[in-house]
Structure 1
Amino acid sequence: MDFLKKYESFIFKNASQISSIESTLRSLTYILPGRFDDADLASEALFSTLNLLGIYHDTILTKHVASLPATHRPTPSPLNRYTRDWQNSSLTYRRIAMLLTVIQYTEVLIEMGVQKKWGQQYKWRVITALEAIKAAGRLTLLRLTNQRMIMHPIHTERDVDPSTLADLAEAQQSVKESHWTGTRTGSTRLQLSAVQKNNSSGKAGGKSDVTEFLLSKVLTPDVVRKPRDLVGILSGLGAIGEYMFVLRPLIYVLAMRKYGQKSWYPWFLSLAIELASRASIKQYLASRPGGGRGGSGTLLEKDEMKRRLWLLLYYVLRSPFYDRFTKERLHNFCESASKKPLISLVGGIVRDYQPLWESVYFYTAGS
């Protein structure tokens, strides 16, 4: 426990450097594949470790942000408000969210390790098991949230600049001098003398300072909404569409195991489920009372629907479509790019990742 406390203190004091190191090492994982024997496995192991360590770092940073005065805390993103509300109110939600996050960050590494150690047969058993666990977890989250759309990511994101946390002591001291705290409500407010001081320090820009201050206090609809109202409840066609989206990866894997990876049936079945799910949810959101501007859902729902639309691009990297159409075009692109100075770097990375797209399921699973 003493070690963890010391580590937390170290992370807090060196937050900005830690973020830089994380970013540098994470960038390194993108250029390692194909460089030496087992480079793919080493790269994925490093990537998974960094992601898991990043979650722990986020909890440390969040803890210190919570200790900041209310006036100095960064405004949380709508996704973090929504996710944190469910995590704080339900231990089951928090545990399932953590389980799904760990699987998401390690599934590629697990698949590659199992394939290297035990071969293809055991690999597909593990893939099926992981997809079943993910489906069961998401179905449980659907029940816990009263059939609300599953957001991505399922965990809170880092929405604070770590370098600003180093000034915690100064911020607290500044608040003591320029703010007062109500004895009954506990609310912290700026003192009038501090306002006058700020105004006198910039006479020429006084009006603009006031305008900027007022604009910073403008409340948007998402800020006013309760956290759980940021994602609406699905019912009828919308709920059916969400269940289809959750079960689609598991159905796809089971179909591939039955009909084979080269069969068009699993590919078309998965695509049909994906499109039907999207159409069902969009139709429900368009008809839902108070479903957001234009009847297209809340801001978080719109963002999630956009993300799911981008996931459709994975179908061009999945067999048999990949073998029939995409593979040759990627090869031609890499060949032509190798003759051009800057584009050759992109072509080289694409060439290094091609074997992974072809052999590792979770690279293009979109689940």
Structure 2
Amino acid sequence: MNMSSLLFSLPEFYNSYKAWVSKNPTSVGDWENIAKWVSYFVAGRLNNSQIVSELIYCLSNLLVMLNDIIIKKSTHIYSTAPADKVKLWLTVVEYSEVFLELTATNLCGNVGKWIVVTSIQIFKCVSRLILIYHYKESMVEHPPIPSLNRQNLKNPNCSNSIADTSCGQFEAVSFTLRRSGRIIRKVDAAPPVGSFKVIRLHYSKENAEDLTNQSIKSKKDKIGIRTWKPLQPPPNYSCENDQSIEQALVGKQLIAEIIFIVKPMVHLASMACFGTRAWKPYFIALAIDLSSLQLYKSCKRNSLSTLTQQQRLQLSKRTLLLVMYLVRSPMYEKYSKDKINGLLLGLSKYVPLARLICDPLSQYMPYWQSMYFHMWSK
């Protein structure tokens, strides 16, 4: 009886939770941060603490995503487009991949680990290619659905309403061809012919001498003249955190993004051929990253295409992530391990309170470096 009453109360509890999240987005963020800090505190302090820590961190990220969805629905900015559904599942997998890898390692050993890793990377690669080719997305972010900036909900920018209005009006009268990107006016959105008066102005020589350019211009402005020029897209007023309409990648940008997407599969195949601690997979992955970034930079330098602000931000993140190659195998074991440990030891000795961060970091580094998705997910 108690169990049945509990099941009946779950929908009521969820509805109450949604109402609370919708009314208190800032307070919800504080509790989300506490959950993430708990995952750091648990690490190394309990039996199987690594699994517990990764589970708490995974659930905290999924909770953030759920709360963002609730807030978006309450503010009527939630999108149900098919591309967003693919991004949703891709985001769930990226939040859970480390926990799944660690669980597979403990249950099935090294073989189970690599089966799970390969399956997840295949799913991610196929999903990203679908977003690029079928849904004409630009760069796929990491995670594909970024966290909602809830501060903008309290102080919304007026440009958001302008963007919504202009984009809504634009989509109501036109559509974009998938392949060419050409903007076509809808037939039912064309102005009625009868409402325009196409008039040819005749001026005699005597009248022409009396009319000035200003008067001719004012008369022409009063006449509705139908234009047959192709539609131009509305100006981009979108904010940094919500660029739902982006042009499809073409030319070098498309090649650069495909190279970046297939890099995990190429890296896994090279590790299967040469070994997980060999130099060849390491340099193959590094060459792919550098090639992708160089193609994007050449597009920007030669003005072949215009990079959006979101694309430039993603390029900056990918450039910074090249530092990760210092802690990836075999570079970490053969060169950077001793230097990193020496740096952390020096900071803990000579910098006040640095020991609170450096000592746990030096102890956690071997475990963190041994996990594939900690090293090679991004």
Contact 1:31 1:349 in 2 (8 A): no
Contact 2:274 2:281 in 1 (8 A): yes
Q: Structure 2 vs 1, CA of residues 3 and 141 (structure 1 numbering), >3 Å: closer, same or farther?
A: same
CA distance in 2, matches of 1:20, 1:10: 14
Q: Write the deviation string for residues 73-98 of structure 1: whole angstroms up to 9, x where unpaired.
A: xxxxxxxx9xx7xx54x32x122101
CA distance in 2, matches of 1:30, 1:65: 33
CA distance in 2, matches of 1:120, 1:17: 42
CA shift at 1:131, angstroms? 0.6
Q: Structure 2 vs 1, CA of residues 229 and 11 (structure 1 numbering), >3 Å: closer, same or farther?
A: closer
Task: Give the structure-1-normalised TM-score.
Answer: 0.71
Larger C-alpha radius of gyration, 1 or 2? 2
CA distance in 2, matches of 1:277, 1:257: 23
Contact 1:238 1:283 in 2 (8 A): no
Q: Structure 2 vs 1, CA of residues 290 and 124 (structure 1 numbering), >3 Å: closer, same or farther?
A: closer
- Given the alignment of the two structures, is residue 362 of structure 1 paired with residue 373 of structure 2, yes or no? yes
CA distance in 2, matches of 1:223, 1:333: 45
Q: Secondary structure at the match of 1:119?
A: helix
What pairs with 1:156-175 in structure 2 (closer than 5 Å)?
156-161=146-151, 164=154
Q: Structure 2 vs 1, CA of residues 163 and 31 (structure 1 numbering), >3 Å: closer, same or farther?
A: farther
> Which residue pairs with 2:284 in the alignment?
269
Contact 1:222 1:230 in 2 (8 A): no
Quick one: which of 254, 263, 280 aligns to 1:248?
Answer: 263
Contact 1:146 1:233 in 2 (8 A): yes
> Which residue pairs with 2:298 in the alignment?
283
Q: Structure 2 vs 1, CA of residues 149 and 15 (structure 1 numbering), >3 Å: closer, same or farther?
A: closer
Contact 1:333 1:347 in 2 (8 A): no
Q: Secondary structure at the match of 1:339?
A: helix
What pairs with 1:89-100 in structure 2 (closer than 5 Å)?
90-91=81-82, 93-100=83-90
CA shift at 1:343, angstroms? 1.5
Q: Write the deviation string for residues 147-195 of structure 1: whole angstroms up to 9, x where unpaired.
A: 6222343115312249959xxxxxxxxxxxxxxxxxxx9xxxxxxxxxx
CA distance in 2, matches of 1:358, 1:228: 34
Contact 1:128 1:254 in 2 (8 A): no
CA distance in 1, matches of 2:133, 2:339: 44
**Identity over the aligned pairs, expressed in percent?**
26
Q: Structure 2 vs 1, CA of residues 224 and 275 (structure 1 numbering), >3 Å: closer, same or farther?
A: closer
CA distance in 2, matches of 1:148, 1:25: 33
Give the stretch that moved more between structures: 51-60 or 249-258.
249-258
- Given the alignment of the two structures, is residue 317 of structure 1 paired with residue 317 of structure 2, yes or no? no
CA shift at 1:251, angstroms? 1.2
CA distance in 2, matches of 1:31, 1:253: 33
Contact 1:148 1:231 in 2 (8 A): yes
Q: Structure 2 vs 1, CA of residues 335 and 151 (structure 1 numbering), >3 Å: closer, same or farther?
A: closer
Q: Secondary structure at the match of 2:42?
A: coil
What pairs with 1:1-367 in structure 2 (closer than 5 Å)?
1-66=11-76, 87-88=79-80, 90-91=81-82, 93-146=83-136, 148-161=138-151, 164=154, 222-223=236-237, 231-289=246-304, 291=306, 297-340=307-350, 341-367=352-378
Give the stretch that moved more between structures: 263-272 or 337-346.
337-346
CA shift at 1:348, angstroms? 1.4
Aligned length, in residue pairs: 288
Q: Structure 2 vs 1, CA of residues 334 and 288 (structure 1 numbering), >3 Å: closer, same or farther?
A: closer
CA shift at 1:352, angstroms? 2.9
Q: Structure 2 vs 1, CA of residues 15 and 351 (structure 1 numbering), >3 Å: closer, same or farther?
A: same
Task: Give the structure-2-normalised TM-score.
Answer: 0.69
Q: Which runs of 5+ in 1 are unaligned?
A: 67-80, 166-184, 186-220, 292-296
Contact 1:232 1:298 in 2 (8 A): no
Greater RCO (Cα-Cα under 8 Å, separation 6 or more): 1
Q: Which runs of 5+ in 2 are unaligned?
A: 1-10, 156-168, 170-234
Counterpart residue identity of residue 343, structure 2: F
CA distance in 2, matches of 1:304, 1:129: 25
CA distance in 2, matches of 1:228, 1:25: 29
Contact 2:26 2:150 in 1 (8 A): no
| Structure showing the higher helix proportion among its residues | 1
Q: CA RMSD in A?
A: 2.7
